[in-house]
Amino acid sequence: MARDADADAIKRAYRERALRDHPDRNPGDVAAEERFKDASEAYATLRDPDARRRYDAFVAAGGVAGQGARGTAPRPDFSTVDWRSVFQEADVPLDWSRYGSAGAVPTTGHVVFDVLFRGVTRAFRQAGLLPGEDRRVPLRLDLAAARRGGVRRVHVPGPIVCPDCRGHGASCATCGGAGVLRHGLDVDVRVPAGVRPGQRLRLQRMGGPGRPPGDAFVEIDVALPAGVRREGRDLVAEAFVTPLEAARGTVLHVAGMPVRVAAGARGGQRLRVAGGGLGGGDLHLTLREDVWRGMARTVAEGVAGLWSETTAAWRRLATAGRKP
Chain contacts with Zn ion (rule: CB under 5 A):
162, 164-165, 172, 174-175
Q: 25 Cβ partners below 8 Å, 6+ apart?
A: 19, 32, 124, 130
CA 324 to chain centre: 69
Dist. CA 81–CA 104, nearest whole Å: 17
105 or 165, CB closer to Zn ion?
165
| Cβ pair 186, 132 in contact under 8 A | no
Q: Closest approach of Cβ 226 to Zn ion, in Å? A: 46
| Least Å from the CB of residue 205 to Zn ion | 12
Distance of CA 142 to the CA centre of its chain: 22
**At closest approach, how far in Å is the CB of 176 from Zn ion?**
8
CB of 128 to Zn ion, least distance (A): 15
Report yes or no: 255 and 225 within 8 Å, Cβ to Cβ: yes
Of 174 and 269, nearer to Zn ion (C-beta) is: 174
Q: Which is nearer to Zn ion, 134 or 164 (CB)?
A: 164
Q: Which is nearer to Zn ion, 143 or 172 (CB)?
A: 172
Alpha-carbon dihedral 242, 246, 248, 251, rounded to 10 degrees: 80
Residue 82: how many CA atoms within 13 Å on its side-chain side? 4
String of DSSP letters for 124-155 = HHHTTSSPPPPEEEEEEEEHHHHHH-EEEEEE
Shorter beta-carbon distance to Zn ion: residue 161 or 254: 161
Q: Hey, what amino acid is at 227?
A: G
CB of 115 to Zn ion, least distance (A): 31
Question: CA separation (Å) from 234 to 39, 129, 140, 249?
Answer: 60, 44, 18, 24
For the bound state, the minimum distance from the C-beta of residue 24 to Zn ion, rounded and expressed in Å, comes to: 24
Nearest distance in Å: CB 158, Zn ion: 13
Q: How many CB atoms lie within 10 A of CB 287?
A: 21
- Contacts for 243 with CB less than 8 Å, ≥ 6 apart: 289, 291, 294, 313, 314, 317
Cβ at position 258, least distance to Zn ion in Å: 49
> How far, in Å, CA of 121 to CA of 103, rounded?
17
> Looking at beta carbons only, is 187 or 236 nearer to Zn ion?
187
Q: What SS3 state is found at 50?
A: helix
Considering the complex, state which of residue 162 and residue 283 has its C-beta at the smaller distance from Zn ion.
162
- The answer to whether 36 touches 113, Cβ cutoff 8 Å, is yes
Which of 69, 180 has the CB closer to Zn ion?
A: 180
